[in-house]
Structure 1
Amino acid sequence: MTRSDLVLTSHGDTIAAWHYRAESEAWTTAAGRPCVVMAHGFGATKDAGLTPFAERFAAAGADVVIFDYRGFGGSSGEPRQCVDHRRHRADYRSVVSQVRGLEGIDPDRVVLWGSSYSGGHVIAVAAGDPRIAAVISQGAAMDGLAAVVEIVKYAGIKQLLRLSAHALRGVVQRDYSIPIVAAPGELAAITSHDGLSGYEIIMGPTFENRMLARGILPILVNRPVASASKVTMPLMLVVAAHDTIAPPSAVERVAAKAHGRVEVERFDVGHFDIYEGETFTKSVAAQVAFLESVLTR
């Protein structure tokens, strides 16, 4: 598998990316090769479980670009560890613009891929860019309000109030940080029963279990579901039916509101199970088949 480092930019900062070159010419046309643009979820980096997906897409015939958001992993940018869906989406748009100009890439066959928090980002970005060829979104955070309700369900109202207090402290003390994930009952943005074990399974060496506490507040206004009706390109949604981090009910609402072709793959698993084992094998095979149907028509 051919992978090289790629340096891009976003709003004056350097974006660290990996570029996987297509291993097959099956999806190549006179206009060039298709490209799948990928980024990760809440506080995560490009070395956290995305490589197996990228390798399969490249083997099938697509170039793949995986990148770190500004302030995370190998990318530059201040403040560091600022989880903010608005910044992340701006980075997606910047990367897509530059990917379209890469040698050998067909600018009209760029696909957005997202998982967890970025699974929502790709909906919002595609809604504003009708040139996107297709979207794949798995285990996606589609509604911040629903996610907050889920916190109350698995951790209780006291935990939500505790988290909110630390977020407000972060508004005043701008560099104040809290953990991204921790065990149930501890202080962190994610304390579901499978959160810590799930992060430990997939996170790579550049991941830092730390985020600016003020980043909790924008979660409430992160509602990709509100943009779903503007998604007109083919859309694949991978649903983890027992997800307690990214409520699947919000993903189902996106499926109902999107105006293009929608393909839904449902698995009776939790949030992190889609990255490994039999679920991964079945899901990635379906994703490759979806890409083939979109990119070779």
Structure 2
Amino acid sequence: MKSRRYPDTSHVRVRAIKSTFTAEGALCGATLHVPEDTRTDQQLPAILMLGGWGSVQMAMTSSFTHSFVEAGFAVMEFDYPGWGASGGFPRQGINPWRRTRVADTVLAHLKSQPMVDAHQITLWGTSFGGGHVVDLASQHPELTGAIIQVPMLDGRAATFATPLGRLLKLSMLGLLDLIKPGALIYVPTISREGEFGTMDRDGAWDAMERAMAALPHLGYDNRVAAKSALTMPFYRPWLRLKDVKVPMLMIGATSDTVAPFVSDKVRRVGNPNVQVIEIDADHFDPYFDPLFPEVLAHQLKFLRR
């Protein structure tokens, strides 16, 4: 087991401003994080953060959020419908195309905040959210830029990386969940290595435990609707990389087995707006020390450019 430590950013003085927005018929929760001493008439450059497959606000992202606030940015996190602090039923389902529509609504919500400079907004996405950032950035050439780390760019590659027995079980449960009436069938979002769930590789369980220990008040509903897995092979945001017109920083992990980094496809697109940095890491390493400072440094350099 790797020696991972959740970064300590408790020294950062942050003001958290709660708000709500309506998306896909649900009342959803968002939080704008700003430096504690920000004046109410002050407008800051902003970052909209899109979390991963089973994400909720601040789950494994708080160290990035606080670090960006310390650098002078306003940072918005949010919960998708049916997740975390957001309403909406059924709960814990994932549809990537729906999520991109929701993120577009959140972007408009962020632009409307009085402490945000609507002309200075950068998208930030991690894991599954990295794919949504590609989708969203391709639709919004007015944005300042975009950052994606350990991005899920090709659902087909992620599907083929899943052990065959687990893939068959996920597929069968997903189909049953899709066609049967009544309550949804749920599977664990994260599981111990070798146990059944949608993510058990790259030290996923250890990563969740360490992140939750650092944020004991957060809580986490560790389950996802089984039919969510059926969307994965059809979600391929790398195909829209060619349409990204804003500067984008892409950080890919060469040992990622959860969302394999498809560097060959990225090179094939050859978009000059996309800067690619490859790191020797697995899917969860960037969230933790000792790698976190290096990843953060790349992102801050990009933001200050």
TM-score by length of 1: 0.89
Paired AA for residue 256 in structure 2? D
Q: What's 1:79 paired with?
A: 90
SS at structure 2 position matched to 1:278: coil
> Aligned in 2, Cα 1:217/1:47: closer, same or farther, shift over 3 Å?
same
How far has the Cα of 1:196 moved from its partner?
Answer: 2.0
Q: What's 2:185 paired with?
A: 176
Counterpart contact for 2:130–2:148, Cα < 8 Å: yes
Output one character per residue of 1:251-286: Cα deviation in whole Å (capped at 9) or x when no partner: 553365263432223221111110010211111122
Cα distance in structure 2, aligned partners of 1:184 and 1:66: 29
Q: What's 1:268 paired with?
A: 280
SS at structure 1 position matched to 2:134: helix
Matches within 5 A, 1:208-227: 208-227=221-240
Cα distance in structure 2, aligned partners of 1:268 and 1:193: 13
Q: What's 1:281 paired with?
A: 293
Q: Which moved more, 1:83-92 or 1:230-239?
A: 83-92
Matches within 5 A, 1:5-84: 5-22=18-35, 32-84=43-95
Paired AA for residue 161 in structure 1? L
Counterpart contact for 1:23–1:59, Cα < 8 Å: no
Cα distance in structure 2, aligned partners of 1:131 and 1:185: 44
Paired AA for residue 74 in structure 1? A
Cα distance in structure 1, aligned partners of 2:65 and 2:206: 23
Counterpart contact for 2:48–2:122, Cα < 8 Å: yes
Answering whether residue 205 of structure 2 is matched by residue 196 of structure 1, we say: yes
Counterpart contact for 1:23–1:61, Cα < 8 Å: no
Counterpart contact for 2:28–2:79, Cα < 8 Å: yes
Counterpart contact for 2:95–2:228, Cα < 8 Å: yes
SS at structure 2 position matched to 1:168: helix
SS at structure 2 position matched to 1:2: strand
Runs of at least 5 residues in structure 1 that lack an aligned partner in the other structure: none
Q: Which moved more, 1:90-99 or 1:13-22?
A: 13-22
Runs of at least 5 residues in structure 2 that lack an aligned partner in the other structure: 1-13
Aligned residues: 285
TM-score by length of 2: 0.87
Q: Which moved more, 1:70-79 or 1:194-203?
A: 194-203
Cα distance in structure 2, aligned partners of 1:112 and 1:187: 33
Paired AA for residue 164 in structure 1? S
> Aligned in 2, Cα 1:131/1:251: closer, same or farther, shift over 3 Å?
farther
> Aligned in 2, Cα 1:24/1:140: closer, same or farther, shift over 3 Å?
farther
SS at structure 2 position matched to 1:277: coil
Counterpart contact for 1:255–1:262, Cα < 8 Å: no
SS at structure 1 position matched to 2:284: helix
Answering whether residue 203 of structure 2 is matched by residue 186 of structure 1, we say: no
Cα distance in structure 2, aligned partners of 1:134 and 1:193: 29
Output one character per residue of 1:226-247: Cα deviation in whole Å (capped at 9) or x when no partner: 1100011000111111111010
